[in-house]
Amino acid sequence: MEYRRTIRFADTDAAGVVYFANLLSVCHEAYEASIAASGIDLRSFFSASSTAVPILHADIEFFRPVFCGDTIVVKLTSQRLSESEFSVTYNIVKSGEDRSIARATTRHACIDAQKRRRQPLPEDLDRWVLANSP
């Protein structure tokens, strides 16, 4: 899945370069867009009272600076790690280029929201993970 986004002034720091945490937010936008494109209703997904899918780990590595006005493409892939856990990798490039400007990873777990214990991924989310696997 590919997600396009133009970097806005609010995404940058005092040096005019995208602030690292804001690029992670853009990655999360790509994750949400991909889930929605698969047919999962975002309102239900993020507000389901019985199931939660928290991020356990996030990291990002920058290779080149990103500036206000740059259009980027986030190329997302996912991988099932266990019946209750998956990871998402985000390769970020400038539009029209092939060379990576950054790469991020998030690791997610599915839990019972009340008991705070792991549970298997819901069927629709598991299908999404498998459909976006390399």
Catalytic residues: 13
DSSP-based three-state secondary structure for 114: coil
Task: Give 90's Cβ-side CA count (13 Å radius).
Answer: 29
Q: In this structure, what token pair is assigned to residue 120?
A: 């298997």
Percent composition of the chain: helix, strand, coil (DSSP 3-state, to 5): 25, 40, 30
Q: In 3D, which of 53, 60, 65, 133 has the Cα closest to residue 103?
A: 60
